Amino acid sequence: MKLPKGTYNAITDVHGVNVGHVTLYEQIDEANTICTGVTAILPHGGNIFQEKLPAGCHVINGFGKTTGLIQMEELGLLESPIMLTNTFSVGAVLQGTLDYMLEADKTIGDTTSTINIVVGECNDSYLNSIRLQAVQREHAFEAIKRAASGPVEQGAVGAGKGMVCFGYKGGIGSSSRIVDQYTVGCLVLSNFGNREDARFADWETNDIETPDGSIMIIVAMDAPLYDRQLKRLAKRATAGLGRTGSTIANGSGDIAIAFSTANRHAHTAKTPLTSYSFIRDDHPIMNKLFQAVIEATEEAIKNSLHYAETTYGRKGRVISKAPIID
């Protein structure tokens, strides 16, 4: 039995999680088109550096250029917005996010430690003139400023503007599931697969020669879990990805990040001990949470196709909207 969906069927069904986009689209000349953007996921509405969240990550296939995963793997904490963009814009987006965080918290790098910025990417160079490096640090700053709760704009928006999924227009997709009193939400940046691989549709093969592709999978929840458990949930996103038909290609950067909003980890504390309550691994709720991640990931990928529109890119290339029937 499938689990029920949240109010918006989006990652923002997890209370406190906000999403913002900046979309860049401009035809420069016959050869070049800017077709890219930035997406920001804010884990909560407070100071994420001062009130960190438990987090875990899983590298399904490591052909990616994501920043911030080493420290997340070591410490099990998220202390910045999660940012998504194209492969060549990771540096600019990291800088813009750092600018935002330095402005928001004057202690960073002064009276306290430095900060670990998380930026994920996919290669949108089939449609986007990626060498122009159109994304600037102010676009990251603006995406964070635009982040809001409620319905999430999906499809060819933000970081998803130039992405291709199963040979059709992909990009940003989101979904959510309810497990007892808890909510699990997922947001993906889809950019992978060939038409004949899709398991949910009978599409004819096409001759589009795109890179192997990638996907970023961001999972949020309000269930009280700690970092090791969240890594286990991030691993389950692989099953949701596989359900759609992904073969997790050699040149694919497939990465999942999971965080929980249930407990906050203060950057500074007066005592050496911290106490959390968390769900036992052997409680039946854990299996339902695994199911929720798998279902939400699968549907988020389908939604990235469902909401995307036919997009014109560089060198006269066109990627059509997928013929998905509701």
Active-site hit among 174, 254, 260, 304:
254
Helix (H) or strand (E) holding 61: strand 51-62
For the question of residue 281 being annotated catalytic, the response is no
Q: Position of tokens 């036992």?
A: 280
214: annotated active-site residue: yes
Q: Which of 80, 129, 174, 214 is catalytic?
A: 214
State the alpha helices, DSSP H only, in the chain. Answer: 69-75, 90-104, 137-146, 227-244, 284-306
Annotated catalytic residue within 89, 129, 175, 252 = 252
214 vs 274: CA distance, rounded Å: 37
Q: Mention every residue, 6+ apart, whose C-beta is less than 8 A from residue 78.
A: 43, 48, 52, 53, 54, 55, 72, 118, 257, 259
Active site residue 254: yes
Distance (Å, whole) CA 143 – CA 158: 8
Torsion angle of the four alpha carbons 103, 150, 324, 143, in this order, in degrees rounded to the nearest 10: -10
Give the catalytic positions in this structure. 214, 252, 254
